[in-house]
Amino acid sequence: MELLINNAMVYDPVNGIDGEKIDIAVKNGRIVEASELRDAKVLDARGLVAMPGGVDIHSHIAGPKVNKGRLLRPEDHLRVVKRRGEGLRPIVGYTIPTTFTTGYWYASMGYTTVMEPSTPPLETRHTHEELNDTPIIDKACFPVVDSNWFVLEYLKEGDIDGCAAYLSWLLRSVKGYALKLVSPGSEEAWGWGEGLRGIDDPVPHFEITPREIIRGLYRVNRLLRLPSPIHIHCNDLGAPGNYKVTLDTMRCVEDLVEEDRPSLHIVHIQFNAYAGSGWGDLSSGASELAKYVNSHSHVTADLGQVLFEDTTTMTADGPWQYVLHRLSGNKWVNHDVEAETGGGIVPYEYRRKSYVNAIQWTIGLEFALQVKDPWKLCLTTDHPNGGPFIEYPRIMAWLMSSKAREAALARINRRARRKSALGSMDREYTLYELAVVTSAAPARILGLKGKGHLGIGADADIALYRLDPHSTDLSRDYRRVREALRRAAYTIKGGEIVAVDGEAIKTTYGKTYWVDVEVPERDEERIKRDLQERFESYYSVRLENYPIEEGDLRVSSPLHIRAEGV
Amino acid sequence: METFIGVPCPFCGCLCDDLEVTVEGERIIKVGNGCTYSLTKYLNYNRDRVAAPMIREGDEQVAVEISVAIERAARVLFEANYPVLYGWSFTSSEAIGLGIELAEEVGGAIDNTTSVCHGPALEALQDLGLPGCTLGQVKNRADLIIYWGSNPLQSHLRHMSRYTIGAEGRWRKSRDDRTLVVVDVRKTYTARVADYFIQVEPNRDYELITALRMALRHEEIEQDRVAGVPVEDIEELADLMRGCEFGALFYGLGLTMSYGKNMNIDILTSLVRDLNRWTKFVMMPMRGHYNVNGANIVFLWLTGYPFAVDLSHGYPIYAPGVTSAVDILSRNESDASLIISSDPAAHFPRRAVENLFSNPLIVIDPRRTVTSMKADVVIPSALVGIECEGTAYRMDGVPIKLRGVVKPPKGILSDEEILRGILTEVRRLKREG
């Protein structure tokens, strides 16, 4: 299959292209030199902007937690429905759409790669079954490991090699891509109905602190040479004053940093950027966090911006989800997973007239506008926690247009508006910077070499938007920008046109990435014995029924890695 | 002779995965670790099998080639205005996914056995949520176990030894480390081994749970008895619940199918939510079929709803009571049925069964059933977990891959293969107009 995209205005930050008219040639799913084409279909992209397909580094799209969310909220499914079409399954959704809807909707916005950021290892077979039924996009999932009994025990003994060997086994067994930490240690405490405060509170019975867990897994991640750093949902999420815990978290690995590139990724940092001592004086800690991120090279973050929507919160942070249930009075699902992790789901509506919600909204944008280097930031809402992914273009408009921000600010709670510094920030993201935070940066942080750029050899994942920066004032006409980004003119995935004018046109299936890490044989043998001895006493299933086979993934795409010492 | 170990059992919601199945030649001759139900299924797996696909001609069912049966089944569904596709709980997730795709293609209603079983529990979840966990959490941590309207010693035979009072957990090692409470309308087998047995008057559970919630808050209960239970016993139970370190409450059809139905689970959920203010407390429905939870789960990720899904408009509509199979059939609204891994003619109300038999009826099942005996198309299938593989979901949501230990009888396909065949044929018929 050959495609030649002519006359598009290209934004390709990896290759330094900032709005140039460049032809893009596609062959066999890759971007190639135009000279290699023999018989290409020509797509005239005059008046269109081309960007590498969107990469969502953190979005809850598949697995037991997401599915329990679907069960909890039949009312959510009434908000958008669309009849099945030719070769297309029905669309049902909004904040927790069906798996087919997820794939079609991401494609409609020009997104082509999405990461499911937190899956409980024991139930990850379920996550993969759902990912298998999520069309078009390439995907991967991150097993949650911070409250895993084997991990806690290895780290308590200081056995980094053992922990690394165990996690290489785990990643292979559940076909995971990166290591996820969620309020480290908290899910184990929540197994008893308790929580942790800060990063120096020991986990009951295991007597290891979040700080020790974070540092241990940081070292393990490097040892395993994983393509992506550890992803961490910081402790004390949602609590006023928690920006200090976030700073502690970022600082706690400073002495371990060896290279001059990112090695710690803070997820949905907005929810952990709160100053103040209570709900009444909640204020922004975004400046402090941005200052730290600006002056340190080891940290990256994704945003976790909130939208004024009736949405669904769902995280592995069991204690926090319970707190949210008590605060809001809304229905609540809790699901703790033996020897591994936990989680909860609570519907939640962010209201512009609520002081707290309005402050939350300003905090995310403040952070994004104060981080100087866009390569350190990825655009997310922690879908669906902050809002549904289908509304990302609203956030894009706020980043790119101070006028859009003004219009939104005018409608929020007055006290929040006065308290926030957002009104005085006039920075506007350029299209180039937008391409960084929605594609190039997440691809780089994930270590997905074929994604996030349009250079020769890249995967042919391309988004074409009906935007002409020469004839449109991107700041003043923010509504048009928003609409253009919401309905991509064309979305190309693996060289195939999969969406036109913001509608998916066919059901294709992308790849599921996972990491296959080889560790030193002596460590592998050692942990095998540990597994045989302890697994059955910890779990309620047998060891041999735990791993997932490669054939269980619709399209398996492993990254083969040799850990240090191999 | 070969012995397979770690074999997951395809019977009930316990999904025990430690069976040891011995096969000689092509016959299963021994099953280790399994309960009576498991043994019955494995050792009788060849009984009452349908030997070949059949089509009804007059009063007789005549053996035909599989391709003929599949074509006829596809034609029945293609020509129907409003077919019902029902069953699903006793087959693999992969088959269920294909069933939904088929229902979308033919514009029918698709429903699983939840609608006549734990449906009320899921409806209550949609209202209030559910504080829950996986079974290993209970095994390791729970010091208080409650079975309410559930009699595991007769329904889920190894539940207690694998997951609750008899299991060796990290912090609870033996029976002595747990307290067992049973609430039921009569003294069941499980009640006989309980530390506390609360006999509740039939259909009065809602009042009893309300009184428990009051007792938890130290509120004054004005009567001497509620639902037949002395108030001192209610207060004692409340103290027990509030004072435990980790409580786990399992509930069954005693609550979901007695007066109040989903309202019983509604208030039970409120009770467990309340308890989380004082201690750690979880609840879990005792799912019956080995993959009824899987049916809910697959339905959810494909349609947004756990059962009773109408696809006749081209998108999912969920309205239990309207779109549930037993109700559609009872009101005579459907004009064809596909029944898979279920026997509704043996269980459903008379009017529903009359509709089943007076319209074209397709049955996909390994065995002869009451439903299949009068069906227009009968397609025999392989037994998941014995003759073919497939994913199932345990009552707590843990997915386990079932395996085959023997080959299916000659010419017998899996549910997956059969459904794929029907789907392909339906699409062909639609293309031809």
Using one digit for the tens of pLDDT, what is the confidence trace for A211-236? 999 999 999 999 999 999 999 999 99
Edge-to-edge strand order for the sheet containing A24-27?
A30-32, A24-27, A2-6, A41-44
Per the CB < 8 A criterion, the answer to whether B90 and B41 are in contact is: no
Average pLDDT for residues A295-300, to the nearest whole number?
97
Q: How many angstroms separate the Cα of A396 from the Cα of each of A94, A111, A412?
A: 19, 14, 19
| Nearest chain A residue (CA) to B97 | A133
Please report how the helices A64-72 and B292-303 are oriented relative to each other, as an axis angle in degrees rounded to 10: 80
Tell me whether residues A74 and B97 touch, CB distance under 8 A: no
Average pLDDT for residues B169-193, to the nearest whole number?
98
Tell me whether residues A538 and B122 touch, CB distance under 8 A: no
Q: B162 — contact with chain A (CB < 8 Å)?
A: yes
Q: What is the pLDDT of residue B433?
A: 80
In whole numbers, what is the pLDDT of chain A averaged over residues?
Answer: 97
Which residues are registered as beta bridge partners of A557? Answer: A513
For residue A336, which residues of chain B lie inside 8 Å, CB to CB?
132-134, 137, 282
Average pLDDT for residues A335-346, to the nearest whole number?
98
Q: How confident is the model at residue A566 (pLDDT cuts 50, 70, 90)?
A: confident
For residue B315, which residues of chain A lie inside 8 Å, CB to CB?
81-84, 90-92
Q: What is the DSSP letter of B307?
A: S
Q: What is the DSSP string of A385-450?
A: TSS-GGGHHHHHHHHH-HHHHHHHHTTS-HHHHHH-SGGG------HHHHHIIIIIHHHHHHT-TT
Q: How confident is the model at residue B26 (pLDDT cuts 50, 70, 90)?
A: confident
Q: Choose among B135, B304, B399: nearest Cβ to A125.
A: B399
Record the tokens describing residue B328, joined without a space.
């559609």
Average pLDDT for residues B286-304, to the nearest whole number?
98
Q: Choose among B137, B303, B401: nearest Cβ to A336.
A: B137
| Nearest chain A residue (CA) to B126 | A72
Q: Do you find a cis peptide bond into A547, omega within 30 degrees of 0?
A: no
How far B324 CA sits from the closest chain A CA (Å)? 16
What span, in angstroms and rounded, lies between the C-alpha atoms of B10 and B91? 9
How far A32 CA sits from the closest chain B CA (Å)? 37
Q: A153 — contact with chain B (CB < 8 Å)?
A: no
Q: What is the pLDDT of residue A261?
A: 84
For residue A90, which residues of chain B lie inside 8 Å, CB to CB?
104, 303, 311, 314-316
Q: Is the ipTM of this complex over 0.90?
A: yes
Edge-to-edge strand order for the sheet containing B19-24?
B2-7, B19-24, B27-32
In whole numbers, what is the pLDDT of chain B averaged over residues?
Answer: 97
Record the tokens describing residue B227, joined without a space.
């639902």
Q: A382 — contact with chain B (CB < 8 Å)?
A: no
What span, in angstroms and rounded, lies between the C-alpha atoms of B31 and A9? 68
How far A323 CA sits from the closest chain B CA (Å)? 11
pLDDT in tens, B200-212: 999 999 999 999 9
65-84 in chain A: CB under 8 A from chain B: 67-68, 70-74, 76-77, 81-84
What span, in angstroms and rounded, lies between the C-alpha atoms of B149 and B157? 15
The model's pTM is 0.98
How far B357 CA sits from the closest chain A CA (Å)? 31
Q: What is the pLDDT of residue A513?
A: 98
Percent of chain A with pLDDT over 90: 99
What span, in angstroms and rounded, lies between the C-alpha atoms of B364 and B378? 6
Q: B431 — contact with chain A (CB < 8 Å)?
A: no
Record the tokens describing residue A427, joined without a space.
């920075």
Q: What is the pLDDT of residue A275?
A: 98
How far A359 CA sits from the closest chain B CA (Å)? 29
pLDDT in tens, A42-94: 999 999 999 999 999 999 999 999 999 999 999 999 999 999 999 999 999 89
Q: What is the pLDDT of residue A280?
A: 93
Write down the H helix ranges in B156-285.
Answer: 159-163, 189-192, 205-216, 231-243, 253-256, 262-275
Percent of chain B with pLDDT over 90: 99
Average pLDDT for residues A538-542, to the nearest whole number?
98
Q: What is the DSSP letter of B9?
A: P
Residue B333 contacts by C-beta under 8 Å, 6 or more apart in sequence?
A: B82
Assign A6 to helix, strand or coil. strand
What span, in angstroms and rounded, lies between the C-alpha atoms of A488 and B219? 60
Question: In whole angstroms, what separates CA B76 from the centre of its chain?
Answer: 28
| pLDDT reading at A561 higher than 90 | yes
Tell me whether residues B126 and A133 touch, CB distance under 8 A: no
Q: Choose among A90, A332, A545: nearest Cβ to B314.
A: A90
| pLDDT reading at A205 higher than 90 | yes
For residue A552, which residues of chain B lie inside 8 Å, CB to CB?
401
| Nearest chain A residue (CA) to B276 | A193
Q: CA dihedral defined by B351, B357, B360, B362, rounded to 10 degrees?
A: 110
What span, in angstroms and rounded, lies between the C-alpha atoms of A231 and A142? 9
Q: Choose among A97, A334, A542: nearest Cβ to B132.
A: A334
B267, B301, B394: best mutation site toward chain A, by most A Cβ within 10 Å? B301
Per the CB < 8 A criterion, the answer to whether B87 and B113 are in contact is: yes
pLDDT in tens, B371-389: 999 999 999 999 999 999 9
Percent of chain B with pLDDT over 70: 100
Where are the strands (E) in A267-395, listed by range? 274-275, 283-284, 299-302, 310-315, 332-336, 344-349, 377-378
How far A547 CA sits from the closest chain B CA (Å)? 10
| pLDDT reading at B344 higher than 90 | yes
Q: What is the pLDDT of residue A525?
A: 97
How far A341 CA sits from the closest chain B CA (Å)? 10
Q: Which of A549, A84, A507, A133 is nearest to B98 (CA)?
A: A133
pLDDT in tens, A92-133: 989 999 999 999 999 999 999 999 999 999 999 999 999 999
Q: What is the DSSP letter of A88?
A: B
| pLDDT reading at A178 higher than 90 | yes
For residue A193, which residues of chain B lie inside 8 Å, CB to CB?
246, 276, 279-280
Q: What is the pLDDT of residue B292?
A: 98
Q: How confident is the model at residue A1 (pLDDT cuts 50, 70, 90)?
A: confident
| pLDDT reading at A259 higher than 90 | no
| Nearest chain B residue (CA) to A101 | B302
Let me know how many helices (H) and strands (E) chain B has, helices first: 17, 22
304-333 in chain A: CB under 8 A from chain B: 322, 325, 331-333
Q: What is the pLDDT of residue A260?
A: 80
pLDDT in tens, B107-162: 999 999 999 999 999 999 999 999 999 999 999 999 999 999 999 999 999 999 99
For residue A537, which residues of chain B lie inside 8 Å, CB to CB?
168, 170
Percent of chain A with pLDDT over 70: 100
Assign A484 to helix, strand or coil. helix
CA pseudo-torsion sign A114, A115, A119, A122:
positive
For residue A91, which residues of chain B lie inside 8 Å, CB to CB?
315
Average pLDDT for residues A334-361, to the nearest whole number?
98
For residue B131, which residues of chain A lie inside 8 Å, CB to CB?
332-334
SS (H, E, C) A442-483: HHHHHCCCCCCCCCCCCECCEEEECCCCCCCCCCCCHHHHHH
For residue A92, which residues of chain B lie inside 8 Å, CB to CB?
303-304, 315-316
Q: How many angstroms separate the Cα of B342 from the Cα of each of A255, B8, B185, B289, B365?
A: 62, 21, 29, 10, 7
For residue B243, which residues of chain A lie inside 8 Å, CB to CB?
none
pLDDT in tens, B213-265: 999 999 999 999 999 999 999 999 999 999 999 999 999 999 999 999 999 99
Tell me whether residues A71 and B296 touch, CB distance under 8 A: yes
Q: How confident is the model at residue A544 (pLDDT cuts 50, 70, 90)?
A: very high
Tell me whether residues B140 and A339 touch, CB distance under 8 A: yes
Average pLDDT for residues A173-191, to the nearest whole number?
98
Q: A98 — contact with chain B (CB < 8 Å)?
A: yes
Average pLDDT for residues B354-364, to the nearest whole number?
97
| Nearest chain A residue (CA) to B169 | A537
Q: Which of A306, A335, A299, A304 is nearest to A119 (CA)?
A: A335
Q: Choose among A99, A129, A544: nearest Cβ to B391.
A: A129
Q: What is the DSSP letter of B11?
A: S
Record the tokens describing residue A43, joined without a space.
């797509």
Average pLDDT for residues B22-32, to the nearest whole number?
95
